[in-house]
């Protein structure tokens, strides 16, 4: 399977703490994207990191990518109760026939307690 | 709000029936993607259209079909519905072929299909 795999499956922290989620994948990629989903609702695009990038920041989000290990991490700093959601990584393979489509992992369920 | 719209939000129907899900991409996006999210399979890519043409196919059943119209909106048709087709169906759009900073896929709110 080309799907990403997130780790851990579930993460429970207190407000103010940092949350780190990891994603591993199997094939070479063009980019890796992180999404958030609140309770079975729509997917919100968080950040995209290209295969030639190693780190990217957006507000309280920090994403790293290690293509040699085929892994990525998403760090949410100073978490808030509103960050409670499922977080998915999605990879876009770099092969011609699969360009454009995204392969999703199963997600990490993050719960942030007030 | 991603700018991608999907209708209807919810659909409840019976086995054997046929339904049509509709998607309007973000303004300027030529590519539309359909994904299915179920408890069993997670989020799976179904099919991609680019400027009216089918571009790529994923795990889409033969009972399912899609099309993209000249105004770029897309429809996903699901026929001979089975209980296992109950899922959340997402449409996403992007500017494709890509240019610098244009790789992101933006998702609509989804259509929740329940087959009874």
- For B21-54, the pLDDT digits (tens) are 999 999 989 999 999 999 888 899 999 998 999 9
pLDDT 10s digits, A29-46: 888 999 999 987 889 999
> What is the DSSP pairing of strand B10-13 with strand B111-115?
parallel
Chain B: residue whose CA lies nearest to A44? B107
Q: Is B42 on the interface with A (CB under 8 A)?
A: yes
- Cβ contact A40–B112 (<8 Å): yes
**Confidence (pLDDT) at B41:** 84
CA distances (Å), origin B113, targets A37, A84, B10, B81, B93: 18, 25, 6, 10, 20
The helix, strand and coil proportions of chain A, stated in percent and rounded to the nearest 5, come to 5, 55, 40
Q: How confident is the model at residue B101 (pLDDT cuts 50, 70, 90)?
A: very low
- Interface mutation target, options A30, A40, A43, A53, chain B, most CBs of B under 10 Å: A43
Q: How far apart are CA A13 and CA A19, in angstroms?
A: 7
pLDDT of residue A97: 57
CB pairs under 8 A between A and B: 63
The SS3 assignment for B81 reads: coil
Provide, as residue numbers in chain B, all residues whose Cβ is less than 8 Å from the Cβ of A88: 43
| Rg of chain A (C-alpha set) | 14
Cβ proximity of B85 and B78 under 8 Å: yes
Q: Do the chains contact at B48 and A101, CB–CB below 8 Å? A: yes
Contact A6, A74 (CB under 8 A): no
């Amino acid at each position: 399977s080309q799907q990403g795999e997130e780790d851990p499956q579930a993460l429970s922290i207190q407000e103010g703490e940092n949350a780190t989620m990891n994603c591993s994948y199997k094939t070479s990629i063009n980019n890796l994207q992180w999404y958030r989903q609140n309770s079975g609702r729509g997917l919100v695009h968080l950040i995209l990191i290209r295969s030639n990038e190693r780190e990217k920041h957006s507000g309280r989000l920090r994403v790293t990518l290690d293509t040699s290990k085929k892994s990525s991490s998403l760090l949410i700093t100073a978490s808030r109760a509103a960050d409670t959601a499922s977080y998915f990584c999605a990879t876009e393979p770099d092969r011609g026939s699969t360009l454009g489509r995204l392969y999703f992992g199963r997600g990490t369920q993050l719960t942030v307690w007030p | 709000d991603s700018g991608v719209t999907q209708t209807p939000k919810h659909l409840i129907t019976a086995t054997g029936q046929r339904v049509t899900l509709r998607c309007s991409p973000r303004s300027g996006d030529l590519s539309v993607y359909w994904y299915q999210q179920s408890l069993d399979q997670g989020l799976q890519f179904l099919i991609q259209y680019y400027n009216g043409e089918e571009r790529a196919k994923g795990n889409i059943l033969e009972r399912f079909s899609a099309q993209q119209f000249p105004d770029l909106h897309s429809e996903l048709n699901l026929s001979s519905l089975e209980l296992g087709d109950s899922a959340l169906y997402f449409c996403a759009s992007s500017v494709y072929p890509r240019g610098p900073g244009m790789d992101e896929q933006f998702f609509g709110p989804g259509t929740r299909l329940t087959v009874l």
